[in-house]
Structures are given as structure tokens and as C-alpha cells.
């Protein structure tokens, strides 16, 4: 059925089958937008309809969907983010990754709302998307190049004088590194869960987009009133107004230390000396290496760090990178961390998973389960900053011990027969907030559909400490399940509208509701948005169960139940019974049964239809 273009959309899905070299444009049904919004929700629904959940993630059966949202192409603040959904080769579950920069915006201006990629090209290819033509062209000459060089080679101006936007992988993706990323605008990553390897497995090196098509807004006045309110609140909140612009996310470092949440040495403790933290803090970064701040398309926050160390310049490091490649590896050397970050960006490696995997390797090494024999002489000791950059390279090219690091920490630790040193949930590395220091954060990691992710799992740390009026207790068993469900839902709404998480520091959903309704003329009241979020969360769950997830995997590594950390001088850990109660309570608030399976009644209530095919 053909659907005429509707407000906020071009109403077009671009389907590409790389195996068949087939390019098709299909119409986007407005009903699916009403039910799944855009971005994450829309991509998840289309992905679910298209994929065999039991497929090998690195085989041609895997499907990769990138969706924009109804706010992209408008002047809604921060509305530039694309969302990519795929089956993760790292976790075997849904991969769901979100990225800023310019790509999603330019892709939408090429006249499409969604891109679906299936199959596997016979040889390396680039997809070139313009409003008038879509081509699959050889990328043999690009294969082997790093992200920056690839981007540079593809960034020639179009005839209209517009610079295209490039999405590509580096050598890590080509080498099917399970912790590799797809990169946008050189330094922005669709990180976590191995999206780069999925590109690589399809012989897809890059996607170049250009265009200038605009979308229509149904009710400009309504849209504008929401936008005005959003901008006002962002200008009023210190985090969005000032802190992120001045210090970037690295400005969080000292703050998170105040609540004892910073991991150390593969989450063995949370103890850091202030003078050590000072060396790598956001304040120090600003003084020593910052060249300028930058922002994604249409973003008034401008949290990007354009930095320089020695003769190299690039972007980062972000808070997560500093903590995971730094503190979690016992490293407090800003230059080494920054260089490793540059290298990760160039080669297309996820910094969080890399840091978590290296920390795991360091613990294995220090405890004698991994030796210089396997590392070819490298001393994988905590605090050894000299090896950082080299380890990124070995990982990306799967050389030496890098071949094991490339598999992520769970497979690494399992290979060396000590999986207990892998700080992962569902094989995804836990990011930079110690779960023992907040019940809500712990539950977020446990129940995130993608494995331990602070974004898909719910950014609970803000609730614990800098959530303003929404701040909640950190150790409330009663409050955590609903608090994290609501935080995850807020994340789904943000991901599905193509907007930045950081706007949540200033306000939750009301202004977005008005903007979304204004753009489309559809009813996107906050209750509708909540309903959509519940629907998306449940569909993600269904996929994971179909893909073989065991609800017992909704847990945390034993370390967090047996080795306490100090919080305000008191020992804190997550007893097994606490983990079990929180998990069961979470299932209940989601409307899932005691085994974490969504009931038929819920599916009916949420109007979740079965797979189309």
C-alpha cells in the first residue's frame, strides 16, 4: 500500500539487499509511526519484522536498520540522532545504538526516513544515497583504511555544493571485532554491542549521504511553543547551559567520585586518590588539551571536546572513556587515555567495551591466569599506560593478544577459564558507574535489553545525584524497579525522537510531546509517549527471548554480590536476594511474568502485533 507523505516524514523506507544488489524504496506507514514513533522504536519494529531472531549475527541473515525520527529535519534542539538496530555479535541479543553528529540529519534530507540493510555484498562496498539516486559502489579502495581516511576520501562536495555525511567502519569492523563501532563524522560512534562487525560482516565499509529535502510541519505554533520551552529550560539548567559546554562529559568525573561510583581496576574497588583524579578530570582536560568545544547538528549544549595531545588532535575523551580505559585499568594518564581514545575512533573500537575488556585482561594477568607468553611480552598490569594505544591497535587488527581482546571480556575471561573476572551483563561490558553504589543503576544494567548499558538500561545515576527535583534515593528497594522502568522509558522516548539524553538533565517529556504533536498533527501526548515506550521495551524483550536470552541473564557478575565497596564509609554490595527481588519486581512493573516473559494480555494491551513475515 502506498502512503502519501505525512507531516514530519518523507514516508520512505530505503531497503537495500547487498546480496542481491537490490535497492528498493518502500512507503512508511503512518500507523507504525503512531505506534512506534521513530528512531529506536521504529527501527526496532522494522527490524523485528525483517529478521530471523535465531540468525548468526555475522551472517548475511542479520538485518541492520537505521531510523531517523519525526523531529529530525526540524529546529527541535538536539534533534539529529539516528538509531541503529541489529542483532549483536557480542551479546547475541538486540543491538541498539544511538549516535549524534550530522549523518541522520543529512540522511533524512536525502528523502528517506529509514534505511534497512540486509544480505552481504560480494566485495567491499559503499552505499551512496542522494535524493535522486541510490548506488552501491565498490569500496575496495577504502577497505583497510581507518575511519578518518575513509571519511576524508568520501567527503567530496556534491554538485549542489553540499558536503556529504559519512558513516563508516575502520579496520576493527572489517576484522569483525566484536567490540567495534560504526563511526559518523569521524569521531561519533554507534558504539556498544559490535555494530562495526555487523557492517564488516556485510562487506559494508561506509554509507555516504547527501541531500537537501525538507519536511513539512503541521502546526508550527504548537511546535514552536514546545521548542521555546525546551530551549528556556536548557538555558536555565546549569548542566545543559554551562557544565557540558565548558567541561564536556568529563566534567562528571569528580562529581561521580563524590558518590563513590567510580570503578577502579576492573570494579575491584572504588577508591581513588584525589590527586590522581585531578590529573584526568574535566577541569584538567580543559586546561591542558582542549582546543575547542563543538556540538552535534542543532545542539545548543555543545559537549564535544576537540582536543590535542602532542602532534595529534581529535575528539575526546568522554567521561566513559576516561573511566573505562583509564580508572578501570588503574590509569590516570590523560595523554595516554586521549591517545587511546583517538586510536579507538580511528580504528572504530568501542571505548567502553575496550576499557572493560582490557581491565579484565589486566586482572587475569595480575592474578596469574594470563602471562607474557600470551601477551607477547606486554605487561598487562593495572596502571600501565604505555600499552594502552598498542592494545587498541592489536584489538582492531586482531593481532596477538588483541585477537582475544577483540572478542570482549566475557569470551576473553572464559577462554582463560575465569569468566568471573568479566564485568559484563549479557556479555556487554559494564560502563563507568559501579552498580553497588545505586540499586537503580544496578537494576538498569541488569534489565537493559542490550546488556550492561547506561543508556539503554536507564541513566539512573542522574536520578541518584544530579536529577534536580527528580532525584531519588540510591538504596530504595521499593522505588528502584519503577524508577528504572520510568528512566528506561524516558530513554526510549528520547531515542525514538532522535534527541540527546542530556536534554533530560533539563526536562523530561512534556516539551517533546508538544513538538512531536506539532510536527505531525498526531496525538503524541505524554501518555501516548509512555505507551509507546512500554511497547518498544516489550518488543525488545520479545526479540531477546526469541534470540535465546535466558531471563537468568538479567543479573550482575558475582563480584557485586560478594565484594563490597565503600559508600560514605559503609560497605555496600548487592546481595543475591536483593538482585532477585529487584528483578522480579521489575518484571512485574513491566507486565512480564515471573520468568520475564511478556504475557499475551500485555501484548494485546500494548497492541504488539506478531512478526509480519
Partner 1 sequence: MKTKKWKASKELIRLFQTVGRASLIYDIQDSHSGNMALLWTEKKGDKKIVITSTGSQKGDLEPNQICFLSASETDFGYYKASSETDIHARILTSKDVYASMHCHTKDLVIATLDDEKKPNKPAPFVPIDPLGYYFLGGLVPVDWFKVPSGSPEMIRTIPERLSNHPVTVVQAHGAFSRGRTLKEAFFLLCIANNSGYIVRLANKLGINVKGLRNKIQSDPDSFFTYPPAKYLIEEEKPCDFPEEEEITREFFKAGARIFESRLSPFHTGSLSIRGVKTMLYAPMASMPREIGGPLREIPLSLDKSDSPELQIHKKIYAKSNFQTVIHCYVPEAEALSYFTNPGETEPVDRIVPVDAEGSFLYLVIPVVPQKFDFDELVRLLHDYKVVTVRGGGIWGVGTQSISEVLHHPSSLREICLYRIGALEQGLDLKKMEPKKAKRW
Residues that bind partner 1 (CB under 8 A): 221-222, 225, 228-229, 232-233, 236, 463, 467, 469-479, 481-483, 485-487, 489-490, 508, 510, 513-514, 525-527, 530, 534, 585, 588-589
Residue 79, phi then psi, degrees to nearest 5:
-75, 85
> Considering beta carbons, is residue 332 or 439 the nearer one to partner 1?
439
Complex with partner 1: residue 503 or 534, whichever CB lies closer: 534
* 308 vs 470 by CB, closer to partner 1: 470
Looking at the Cβ atoms of 109 and 503, the one nearer to partner 1 is 503
For the chain, report the end-to-end CA distance as a whole number of angstroms.
16
Q: Nearer Cβ to partner 1, position 138 or 526?
A: 526
Q: What sections of 237-350 are H helices per DSSP? A: 238, 244-247, 252-258, 274-280, 282-288, 319-321, 334-347
Nearest approach, Cβ of 459 to partner 1 (angstroms)? 12
Question: Considering beta carbons, is residue 233 or 340 the nearer one to partner 1?
Answer: 233
Which neighbouring-strand residues pair with 64?
117
Collect all residues with Cβ–Cβ distance below 8 Å to 400 and sequence separation of at least 6. 375, 376, 394
Report the C-alpha gap between 120 and 525 in whole angstroms.
41
Tell me how far, at minimum, the Cβ of 225 lies from partner 1, in Å: 4
**Beta carbon nearer to partner 1, 190 or 507:** 507
Q: Toward partner 1, which CB reaches closer, 456 or 485?
A: 485
8 A C-beta contact, residue 350 and residue 180: yes
Set of cell numbers at residue 162: 553540499
| Shortest distance in whole angstroms from residue 333 CB to partner 1 | 37
In 317-473, beta strands by DSSP E: 424-425, 428-429
The label of the residue with cell 500485555 reads: 602
Distances from the Cα of 162 to the Cαs of 113, 130, 214, in angstroms? 19, 11, 14
Query: CA-to-CA distance for 347 and 70, rounded, in angstroms?
Result: 32
Burial (CB < 10 A; 0-12, 13-18, 19+), residue 276, is middle
Q: What one-character DSSP code corresponds to residue 419?
A: G
Q: How far is the CB of 513 from partner 1 (least distance, A)?
A: 7
Task: Give the HSE-up count for residue 180: Cα atoms under 13 Å, Cβ half-sphere.
Answer: 35
Minimum CB separation of residue 228 from partner 1 in Å reads 7
Q: Cβ of residue 220: shortest distance to partner 1, in angstroms?
A: 12
Closest CA to 197 of 489, 398, 9, 45: 398
What is the C-alpha separation between 117 and 122, in angstroms, rounded?
A: 14
User: Cβ 591 to partner 1, closest distance in Å?
Assistant: 11
Q: Is 473 exposed, middle or buried (0-12, 13-18, 19+ CB in 10 A)?
A: middle
Q: 159 is written with which cell numbers?
A: 554538485
Q: Report, in Å, the least distance between residue 144 CB and partner 1.
A: 48
Which of 6, 192, 165 shows the shortest CA–CA distance to 97?
Answer: 192
Phi, psi of 228, rounded to the nearest 5 degrees: -60, -45
Instruction: Please say which residue, 184 or 437, places its beta carbon nearer to partner 1.
Output: 437
Pick the closer one to partner 1 by CB: 390 or 585. Answer: 585
Q: State the minimum distance, in angstroms, from the CB of residue 500 to partner 1.
A: 19
C-alpha cell at position 292: 575547542
Output 410 or 459, the one with its CB closest to partner 1.
459
**Shortest separation between residue 538's beta carbon and partner 1, angstroms:** 13
- Tell me whether residue 109 or residue 480 sits nearer to partner 1 (CB atom): 480
Q: What CA–CA distance (Å, rounded) separates 584 from 574?
A: 15
Q: Minimum distance between the CB of residue 499 and partner 1, rounded to whole angstroms?
A: 17
Under 8 Å between Cβ of 451 and 579: no
Shortest distance in whole angstroms from residue 458 CB to partner 1? 11
Amino acid at each position: 500500500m502506498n502512503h502519501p507523505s505525512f507531516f514530519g516524514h518523507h514516508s520512505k523506507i530505503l531497503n537495500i539487499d547487498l546480496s542481491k544488489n537490490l535497492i528498493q524504496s518502500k512507503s512508511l506507514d503512518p500507523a507504525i509511526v503512531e505506534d512506534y514513533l521513530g528512531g529506536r522504536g521504529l527501527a526496532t519494529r522494522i527490524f523485528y519484522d525483517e529478521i530471523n531472531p535465531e540468525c548468526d549475527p555475522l551472517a548475511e541473515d542479520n538485518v541492520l536498520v537505521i531510523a531517523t525520527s519525526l523531529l529530525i529535519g526540524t529546529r527541535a534542539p538536539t534533534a539529529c540522532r539516528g538509531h541503529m538496530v541489529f542483532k549483536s555479535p557480542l551479546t547475541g541479543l538486540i543491538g541498539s545504538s544511538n549516535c549524534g553528529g550530522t549523518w541522520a540529519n543529512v540522511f533524512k534530507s536525502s528523502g528517506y526516513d529509514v534505511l534497512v540493510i540486509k544480505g552481504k555484498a560480494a566485495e567491499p562496498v559503499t552505499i551512496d544515497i542522494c535524493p535522486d539516486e541510490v548506488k552501491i559502489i565498490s569500496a575496495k579502495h577504502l577497505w583497510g583504511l581507518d575511519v578518518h581516511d575513509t571519511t576524508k576520501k568520501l567527503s567530496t562536495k556534491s554538485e549542489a555544493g553540499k558536503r556529504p555525511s559519512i558513516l563508516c567502519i575502520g579496520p576493527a569492523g572489517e576484522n569483525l571485532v566484536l567490540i567495534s563501532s560504526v563511526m559518523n563524522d569521524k569521531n561519533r560512534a554507534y558504539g556498544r554491542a559490535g555494530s562495526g562487525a555487523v557492517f564488516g560482516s556485510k562487506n559494508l565499509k561506509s554509507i555516504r549521504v547527501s541531500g537537501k529535502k525538507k519536511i513539512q510541519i503541521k502546526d508550527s505554533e504548537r511546535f514552536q511553543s514546545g521548542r521555546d520551552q525546551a530551549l528556556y529550560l536548557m538555558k536555565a539548567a546549569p548542566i545543559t547551559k554551562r557544565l557540558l559546554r565548558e567541561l564536556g562529559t568529563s566534567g562528571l568525573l569528580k562529581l561521580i567520585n563524590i558518590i563513590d561510583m567510580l570503578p577502579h581496576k576492573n570494579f575491584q574497588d572504588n577508591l581513588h586518590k584525589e590527586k590522581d583524579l585531578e590529573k584526568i578530570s574535566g577541569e584538567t582536560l580543559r586546561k591542558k588539551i582542549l582546543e575547542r568545544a563543538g556540538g552535534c547538528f542543532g545542539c545548543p549544549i555543545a559537549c564535544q571536546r576537540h582536543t590535542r595531545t602532542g602532534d595529534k588532535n581529535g575528539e575526546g575523551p568522554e567521561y566513559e572513556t576516561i573511566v573505562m580505559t583509564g580508572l578501570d585499568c588503574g590509569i590516570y594518564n590523560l595523554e595516554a587515555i586521549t591517545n587511546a581514545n583517538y586510536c579507538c575512533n580511528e580504528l572504530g573500537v568501542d571505548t567502553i567495551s575496550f576499557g572493560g575488556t582490557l581491565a579484565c585482561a589486566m586482572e587475569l594477568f595480575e592474578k596469574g591466569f594470563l602471562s607474557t607468553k600470551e601477551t607477547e611480552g606486554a605487561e598487562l598490569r593495572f596502571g600501565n599506560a604505555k600499552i594502552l594505544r598498542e592494545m587498541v591497535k592489536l584489538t582492531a587488527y586482531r593481532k596477538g593478544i588483541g585477537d582475544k581482546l577483540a572478542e570482549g571480556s566475557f569470551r576473553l575471561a572464559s577462554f582463560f577459564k575465569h569468566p568471573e573476572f568479566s564485568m559484563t551483563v549479557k556479555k556487554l561490558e559494564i560502563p563507568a558507574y559501579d552498580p553497588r553504589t545505586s540499586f537503580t543503576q544496578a537494576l538498569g544494567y541488569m534489565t537493559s535489553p542490550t546488556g550492561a548499558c547506561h543508556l539503554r538500561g536507564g541513566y539512573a545515576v542522574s536520578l541518584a545525584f544530579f536529577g534536580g527535583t527528580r532525584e531519588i534515593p540510591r538504596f530504595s528497594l521499593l522505588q528502584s524497579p519503577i524508577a528504572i522502568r520510568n528512566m528506561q522509558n524516558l530513554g526510549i522516548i528520547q531515542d525514538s525522537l532522535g534527541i540527546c539524553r542530556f536534554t533530560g538533565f533539563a526536562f523530561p517529556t512534556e516539551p517533546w510531546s508538544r513538538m512531536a504533536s506539532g510536527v505531525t498533527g498526531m496525538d503524541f501526548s505524554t501518555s501516548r509517549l509512555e505507551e509507546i515506550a512500554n511497547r518498544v521495551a516489550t518488543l525488545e524483550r520479545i526479540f531477546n527471548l526469541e534470540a535465546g536470552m535466558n531471563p537468568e541473564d538479567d543479573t550482575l557478575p558475582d563480584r557485586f554480590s560478594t565484594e563490597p565497596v565503600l559508600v560514605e564509609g559503609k560497605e555496600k554490595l548487592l546481595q543475591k536476594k536483593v538482585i532477585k527481588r529487584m528483578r522480579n519486581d521489575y518484571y512485574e512493573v513491566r507486565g512480564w511474568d515471573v520468568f520475564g516473559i511478556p504475557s499475551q494480555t500485555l501484548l494485546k494491551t500494548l497492541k504488539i502485533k506478531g512478526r509480519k513475515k
